[in-house]
Structure formats: C-alpha cells, structure tokens
Structure 1
Amino acid sequence: MKEFPKNFLWGGATSANQYEGAYLEDGKGLSNVDLIPSGSQRLDVARGELDPKLLPDTAKFPARSAVDGYHHFKEDIAFMAKMNFKVYRFSISWSRIFPNGDDEQPNVAGLKYYEQVIDECLKYDIEPLITINHFDVPHNLIVKYDSWRNRKLIDFYLRLCETLFTHFKGKVHYWLTFNEINMILHLPYLAAGLTFKEHEDKLHVSYQAAHHQLIASAKAVLLGHKIDSSNQIGSMLAAGYIYPNTCNPIDAWDSLTEQRKNYFFSDVQVRVAYPNYALKYFEKIHFKLSKNTDDPTILKQGTVDFVSFSYYNSRVIGKADQDQTAGNLFASLKNPYLKTNEWGWQIDPLGFRITLNELYDRYQKPLFVVENGLGAKDTLSAKNKVNDTYRINYLHDHIQALKDAVT
C-alpha cells in the first residue's frame, strides 16, 4: 500500500475565540463571539434569535477566557513540535487587530502577539496556516453597520487582510478567507454577526450577507496574490456526506438539495460564478440578490487556490418520522449502521473518504482537511493522563480513510 508523501502537512488547529481568551486585553475590542453564552441559550444567540442584551446577568461567556492560550502559546507550540506537527492552523481575532473593525490603524499589540505566535511556529519548522476570519466580527461593526448585511464590511475586511498579508509577508504562505463559510445559513450570528428584525426574512438576509463574504473572499485572494505571489489562499466548508434515509427518490432528492446548500459556497469560490441551481433556488424563495456590476468579474478572477473543510460526522436526511441525533453543528436522522459518541455524533470514517473523493471529483483542486476529531468527556487517571482509546480509534480509522482516498 502506498504511503503518505513525506511533505504531507500533518498538524492541528485552534481558533482565536476557542483558544486565546484574554478578553479585552492589550487593546482587544469586543467581538460577537464574546457575547455568545454557554448553556441552553447558546444556540438561540448563535442563530440570531436572541439578542445578547437580553441575557441574564448570570450568563457565562466561554470565549472570554477560553483556554487562556494567549498566555500559553509558547508551551503549546512546543508540545505540537514534540508531536511532529508540520502545520498549525490558527485564526486571527479581527477585534484584536482592529478593535472596532473600522479603525484606520491596527492595534500594534495585536500584531505583535500574532507575530510571536508565527515566529514560535517557524522556530520548530511548523508551517502557519492562518484563518483570517473564524466566526469573529467586531461588535462595533454589528451595532454601527449591521454587520455583513452591509457591503461596507467588505472594505473593513480587506483592510484586515492587507494588514496581515503585508505584516507577515514571507512568514505565512497558507491562508483561509473564512472559516466554514456555509455556516452563515445555520448559525448567522455566530458565523457573521447577523441579527434580525421582526418579520424579516432571515434566509434572504443571510444569502445577501453571504454574497458580501464571497466578494470579500475573492478580493482577498486577488490582494493576497498581489502582495505575495507565493501565497496560497483557500476556501473552507463545514462538510460531511449526507445520506438519503431510504432509496425513495424523494429522499435522494432531499439529500442532493441539502448538499447543494453547502457546495453553493465552494462552487462560487472555485467555479467562478453562481451555479444555475442557486439562481433557480433564489427564484423559488423570491430572493433578489443585490450586487454591483463588477461582482461577476471579481468572482471570476478571485478563485481560491485550494479547498479546505472540516469533517466530524455524516448525516442522514429524509422524512423525520424516526429518531434524530445531534452532530457537531447539524442535527440528523439516526443512521443504524453507525456508532455515536455521547452527544450523538455519528462516527463514519467511510463518510470521510466519500467526502474527500466527492470534493476532489467536483473541484480538481488540492484539498486541506483543517478540522477532524472526536468530542468526549475525558477523565484524568490517577497519573493525570487521559486514556482515550475511543479518540485514538476514531483518529486511526479516519486517517486510514484519508489514506485510502489519497493513495
């Protein structure tokens, strides 16, 4: 059996809002993720259905402290080096660089922090892979401009991109424009800082905001290539194969329709234009996209260099007349052929391979698996170790599926 190539980029990932903490420290501004609580109201806020201002005083906000990586990144990267990481994906907190989002000049302390992180990676020959925007919108842009529903966000985002591309030129060569860009349709406040007015069509607002992000992504690709021709700039999806529940053609059609909602984003970012199925869908939901005359040219010119994605589990779709189960971000019908973790994630390494092959067949672009893993309630042994054979098995099976796909 063939082996992975020697230059294969093995590594791991964090995001600023789950890792850094250091809430408002060293000039950082308030962000949408700083206002998403833990507990039963988390999803209501993340979906834009509950205004964070209405949360009780007792609400807790995990992003504000996270795991305090802001103060521990050196030891963490040293551990990564011991694990032979070749790449480390992390994200930039927009409000750590531009505290209000519309600032004219960047926060020097924020740039210094990320430069230290990058230099620490390079010290161990670990390639930095930077997500420019990972579910992170400065709160001021939400309050003052209505976030990504406003086209002005494109220019503010590009100011961030230009700052990063210029400041870290020669040190960083791999970039992602938006984390899981398709999540704007599912968790619009978390993904894009979107809030909604009463009786407003949330889907229309989300697709308009998504258009602005797609234009911003294309412009970022053009800008990144102009500043440094060695930059490789990719898209990123929350991916996972969607099985039809039965061989009923209706279930098969529902599976295709749901998958198209995900691939719509990467279809635009790779195939240079809005696919016909998306335009037909917009007609069906009576949505008229607001766009500038040069937008099609921007999308055509600003295609991504590679496609990246997260994969945790597969899903099943069909008539909801049977039990449902949870996933990392999506609910699903239960698949009787798969085991689940304690939160209902369906463990499906073959679904991982199917996703890999489907994406490559669709786009013929290099693929980057930037998230994969298993959530579990771990316990420490008497020797302060985690005996997580369940996670080892999960990773073993998914790595084997990856190997089957690429070799």
Structure 2
Amino acid sequence: MSFPKEFLWGSSTNAQQFEGAWNKGGKGVTIADVRVIPGMPEEANFEDFKNAAQHYEHLEEDIALYGEMGFGIYRFSMAWSRIFPNGNDEMPNQEGLDFYDRMLKELEKYGIEPVCTLYAYDLPLSLVDQYQGWKSRKCIGDYLKYVDTVTKYFKGRIKYWVPFNEQNFVAGDSLYITGTKAMDDKELFKIEHHLSLAYAQATKIIHKNDSDAKTGGNVGNTCVYPMTCDPRDVEVADNTAFRVGYSYADIYVRGKYSKFYLNRYKQYDLSDVVLEGDLDIIASCEPDFLSLTYYMSSAVDKNSKKPLVGNVVRGLNPYCDKNEWGWTIDPYGFKHFLMDFYHRYQLPILILENGLGHRDVLDENGYAEDDYRIDYLRTHIQRMHEAIEDGVEIIGYLTWSATDLYSTREGFEKRYGFVSVDAKTLKRGKKKSFYWYKKVIETNGEDLNSNLS
C-alpha cells in the first residue's frame, strides 16, 4: 500500500483546548475561559479551559516531539484574543504575534507545514459583552480585521488557512461555539449568516494578502446511515445528512444557500438579516480545498426525533463497535464520507481531524499501551487509501490530536494524543502510538503493522 509522494502526514490541536496561559502574553479573556459545562466529571475539571495542556509554556518541547515523529503537516488554531485581546482593539498585541512567530519558527526548523484555523470556539469575551458576538454584524468586521492582520503578518509562512473550525456545528451548539445561545431558529440563522459572510470575505482577504496561500471551509460530521432500507428511515438519514453536512458545504464551496437549507427558516421574514448584496458576498467565496473532520458513523430511523445531540449526529449502529462515550468505530464510514464529499464538490480534501478518545492508563513515564488507538487509526488509514485509489484527491491526513489536550466535555479523562500529558504536572510522555505513527510516516503509510519490535 503506497500513498502519493507528496502526501502529508501529521496531526492537529486547537488553542482553547491546548494553549492554556489564558491571562499571559497580553491575551484577552475568551468564551472558553469562562465556559461552564454541566455534568462534567469533577476529576476532569481543573480551571476548565484556562490551563488546558499549557502548550504556551511547552511550545518548543511539543513541536520537537512532532519533529521526532516526522510530521509533514500540523494544524493549530490561532487565538483571536492573543492578537486582539478585546477582539477589536485598535492595534494588535505584539506578544501574541511573537508567540505564533515562535511557533512557526519551530515548525520551520523541523520542516513541518503549518495549517492555521483562525477561529475555533474561542471568541474574545469582550465582543459578547459589547454586542452579543456573532449575533451582531459588527463581529464580521472585527473578525476580518483580525484575519487581515495575521495573514499579512505571516505572509509566505502559512500555506493553508481555515477560517472557521466546524462552522456547520453552530446549528447544534451555538452557545459552546459562539458564546451566545440562539433563542429561536431565526436567531440561529442570523448567527450562521454572519459566519458565512465572514467566511466568504476571509477567503478573499487570504488570497489578496498571499497569492500562494490556500484556504477552504471545514465540515465536521458523521457518516449518516439509515437504520434499515425502509424508505422512511432512508428519508430521515438523507435529511439529516443534508441538514448537518451538505447544506453547509454548499455555502463553503458553491457560495450559495440551497433551497433545502433555507426551507428550515421559511416561516421567518429574513429581510432584516439578509441585506442587499449579502448573497453576492457569499457567492464570491474563493475555496481551494474542503477540510473535513470525521470520528464516527451514525444510524438513524423514522423514530429519530433529535438525531443531533450536542454538535454531532448520534444514533448507535448495532453493527459497529463503540467507545465508552458511545462514539461508533466505523472505518468504512470514513471512506464513504470522503468519497461522498469529494465527488459532490470536486475539491481536494484536507483531513483535519480523525481519532479515538479513550481513558489511557499511563505509567510513570507517561507511556500507554494504546493498541486500541493504533487499531482505530490503522483501519481508517487503510480505508482512506482505498478512497485515494478510487480517485479522491487528499492533500493530507491529520489525526486528532497530536498531544493529549483538554477534551471539550471530559477534560483529560478522554485522551486522543500520541503524546501524553500528566493532568497535574503537565509532564509529556510518549505512548506506543507515538512510535507506531512515526513508522507510518517514515514509510509513507506502507507499514501499518502495530508490531514495533
């Protein structure tokens, strides 16, 4: 099994779950820093997201580990509030720019191609206080000033830019993602519309500031199956897939609101939301690729009243194994997902996240015998290769996550990384999967065997 020579192997993190240092280096407070998640395990909750995995203090160490594994690509998210602490300050915070400059220098040292996501669920809190964040059109202008600033400052050093992380998930959890809760569907549409306007204009700014840079939207989703071949089950599956995935990819790739998407809001007068010229702005988007995140498949039937739980589609497939959080393990679903989106939209795909959350048992050195993670990744890589053989153009494969970080609702109880993090000391360690993935990268995916002897 061989991958294209130019294929990029790596992994991902994001600022709100990884950086920590919430009040250092001139950083402003974000919605993540004050987030409260009901039902979170007490042992997982240590200052919520404020400390995270303290990448801010371990930057050189962390990236050296990625260099040791041989990463060719690495996705991080930039914290808006490190650049503009209040979201709309007159001048950028130089300490924040310096932090990401340090990061890029380390990545450059090891020959790792950076991918930067510009927004990942960490809106500067001040913008919520000032005008309710993304509920206001003012947020678009402030976001675009931030985009313009960083894409000019880091011109030529970041090839791949993703304006928003899993933008389509706002429909399932607007409070977590934007810091404000949509009170009805019209308000939800307003938030989504403002994000779509910001996305389209961001793609143009990125190309204007760096003609060699690439950009595109990000869709997070599950592969949605009908539970049976009953047409009523198939209809629910189709509607779910269109609602959560395709309707948003139509915006990010085709620059248009589908009739299916707008039908959800047909009982509302949207003339005060969609202003003259807005649809032209959305139509002017300039995507170069489509980025996808995939963890699991779901099965729904005619009795599925609310298939969307939190920010993902939930529906247990009786033919698939699952982890303890009820996330199904379905490698074929990954291939189906890739084939479906590529043949619908005909853009190269950059896989931003794919991984398995698990309660790892760490020894005193932070080592874990995480064969379950290796098995998950191996079988998904095999299916990804089949998709490539069937014609899907894939830029690279980034797992979630490079290092253990603060999981969105389970803290360090739910781990994804090749590199472990001690929740108390923040000491790093290498799991078995660290050495396995290093071998995968060295052989460009030809050797997926978990026998490391």
Query: Which TM-score applies when normalising by structure 1?
Result: 0.90
2-side partners of 1:238 and 1:135: how far apart? 14
Query: 1:330, CA displacement in angstroms?
Result: 2.5
The equivalent of 1:223 in structure 2 is 205
**Contact kept in structure 2, 1:272 and 1:300, CA below 8 Å:** yes
Range 344-353 or range 203-212, more displaced: 203-212
Percent identical across equivalent pairs?
37
Change (3 A) 1:321 1:209: closer
The partner residue of 2:71 within 60, 63, 85 is 85
2-side partners of 1:16 and 1:348: how far apart? 28
Query: 1:208, CA displacement in angstroms?
Result: 1.0
The equivalent of 2:422 in structure 1 is none
Query: 1:109, CA displacement in angstroms?
Result: 0.4
Change (3 A) 1:38 1:296: closer
Partner SS state of residue 356, structure 2: coil
Partner SS state of residue 98, structure 2: helix
Which amino acid in 2 is paired with 1:193? G
Aligned 1:63-142 pairs, distance under 5 A: 63-142=49-128
* Matched residues, number: 384
The partner residue of 2:278 within 273, 292, 295 is 295
Query: 1:291, CA displacement in angstroms?
Result: 1.7
**Contact kept in structure 2, 1:327 and 1:343, CA below 8 Å:** no
**Contact kept in structure 2, 1:13 and 1:371, CA below 8 Å:** yes
The equivalent of 1:9 in structure 2 is 8
1-side partners of 2:110 and 2:194: how far apart? 37
Query: 1:292, CA displacement in angstroms?
Result: 2.4
2:332 is aligned with 1:350 = yes
Query: 1:187, CA displacement in angstroms?
Result: 1.1
The equivalent of 1:150 in structure 2 is 136
2-side partners of 1:15 and 1:330: how far apart? 18
Which amino acid in 2 is paired with 1:113? F
2-side partners of 1:321 and 1:22: how far apart? 42
2-side partners of 1:303 and 1:246: how far apart? 39
Query: 1:61, CA displacement in angstroms?
Result: 3.7
1-side partners of 2:269 and 2:40: how far apart? 30
Change (3 A) 1:75 1:257: same
Which amino acid in 2 is paired with 1:167? Y
Measured against aligned partners, the alpha-carbon deviations of 1:260-315 in whole angstroms (never above 9, x if no partner) come to: 122212101111211121223321x4352612222222122213111001100011
**Contact kept in structure 2, 1:93 and 1:136, CA below 8 Å:** yes
Q: Which has the higher helix share?
A: 1
2:378 is aligned with 1:396 = yes
**Contact kept in structure 2, 1:151 and 1:212, CA below 8 Å:** yes
Q: Which runs of 5+ in 1 are unaligned?
A: 43-58
2:314 is aligned with 1:332 = yes
Query: 1:382, CA displacement in angstroms?
Result: 6.2
The equivalent of 1:186 in structure 2 is 172
Change (3 A) 1:303 1:250: farther
Measured against aligned partners, the alpha-carbon deviations of 1:331-381 in whole angstroms (never above 9, x if no partner) come to: 522211000111111000000000000000110000011001000000024
2-side partners of 1:211 and 1:311: how far apart? 24
2-side partners of 1:123 and 1:92: how far apart? 20
Partner SS state of residue 299, structure 2: strand
Measured against aligned partners, the alpha-carbon deviations of 1:85-126 in whole angstroms (never above 9, x if no partner) come to: 001100011111111111111111001001100111011110
The equivalent of 1:52 in structure 2 is none
Measured against aligned partners, the alpha-carbon deviations of 1:202-251 in whole angstroms (never above 9, x if no partner) come to: x2212111111111111011111111111101111112211112222121
Aligned 1:305-344 pairs, distance under 5 A: 305-320=288-303, 329-330=311-312, 332-344=314-326
1-side partners of 2:251 and 2:274: how far apart? 14
Query: 1:41, CA displacement in angstroms?
Result: 6.3
The equivalent of 1:258 in structure 2 is 240
Q: Which runs of 5+ in 2 are unaligned?
A: 390-453
Change (3 A) 1:243 1:321: closer
Change (3 A) 1:111 1:337: same
2-side partners of 1:105 and 1:381: how far apart? 47
The equivalent of 1:247 in structure 2 is 229
Partner SS state of residue 108, structure 2: helix
Change (3 A) 1:255 1:396: same
Change (3 A) 1:38 1:224: same
2:287 is aligned with 1:304 = yes
Query: Which TM-score applies when normalising by structure 2?
Result: 0.81
2-side partners of 1:115 and 1:97: how far apart? 12
Query: 1:327, CA displacement in angstroms?
Result: 8.4
**Contact kept in structure 2, 1:325 and 1:344, CA below 8 Å:** no
The equivalent of 1:286 in structure 2 is 268
